[in-house]
Amino acid sequence: MRYSVGMRCEGDKVMSPDEIVELADAVAIHSGVATGIGQEAYGAKIIVDADSRAQAEVVAKEHFRVAAQQAGLPAWPIAEVETLSEEEDLTADR
């Protein structure tokens, strides 16, 4: 099943547009989008295939950490995770 997993890290530095664009480029391979311009935080929402919500979160967190590292962002802890299955997303649209 496909899952959309949103993650957010919070820290003590305001993120520049260039930093978030770098993160967006790094998560694009996972059909991802990035957020955080002008905030003391950065985040991304990515799509993963997994057998369960728990597995989706593990996989997504690893992809997110790698993308943040590639973008040269601070290695802040993940403060929020929001996971939605494709099925839940379709039901929510009704």
**pLDDT tens-digit map of 72-94:** 999 999 999 999 998 776 665 55
CA dist 84 and 53 (Å) reads: 8
Q: In what order do the strands lie in the sheet with 41-49?
A: 33-35, 41-49, 2-10, 78-85
What does the domain layout of the chain look like in residue ranges? Answer: 2-92
For 63, residues 6+ apart whose C-beta sits below 8 A from its C-beta are 27, 30, 32, 46, 48
Under CATH, to which class is 2-92 assigned?
alpha beta
- Binned at pLDDT 50, 70 and 90, residue 22 comes out as very high
Whole-angstrom Cα distance, residue 77 to residue 10? 7
Query: What's the mean pLDDT in 6-22?
Result: 97
pTM score: 0.90
